[in-house]
Amino acid sequence: MADYSRNRHAYYKLTYHLVVVTKYRHKCISDEIMDRLIEITKNLFERWNFTLIEMNGEDDHIHILFDAPPQINLANTINNYKTVTSRYIRKEFQEELSKYYWKPYFWSRSYMILTTGGATVEVVKKYIENQGD
């Protein structure tokens, strides 16, 4: 059971692929914003006891491959993630984003979350690594 995580009552391996898009699909994620998003994500995931496997994206969306414990409320956590990252990015890149958004927007309200049961983690990881190429 070396590949599994463990808490007091369970062994688990829950790997998710999250895709989040910018509001109106504006192409506003620069390399600097992507680097900052990765940094924020690493900090949040460490606090939440998540394991970040891979993260990348393009100028209008990001992909995050991660492991999470079973007790989390996934919808609330994703919305929290979007709120926190949006606040940091809007504050730190206000001038850059002002040409795209007049209101305090960054992420679209929607997102896509998948479990990786249909493909191996390596296949999904390779797909995410190749984003932006």
pTM for the whole thing?
Answer: 0.88
Q: Is residue 131 part of a domain?
A: no
State the CATH number of the domain containing residue 57.
Answer: 3.30.70.1290
Q: Is residue 125 part of a domain?
A: no
Rounded CA-CA distance 129/43 in Å is 20
Domain, as residue range, for 68: 5-116
Question: Domain count of the chain?
Answer: 1
Contact call for residues 66 and 45 (beta carbons, < 8 A): yes
pLDDT digit string (tens) for the chain, length 133 residues: 568 888 888 888 899 999 999 999 999 999 999 999 999 999 999 999 999 999 999 999 999 999 999 999 999 999 999 999 999 999 999 999 999 999 999 999 999 999 987 667 888 888 888 987 7
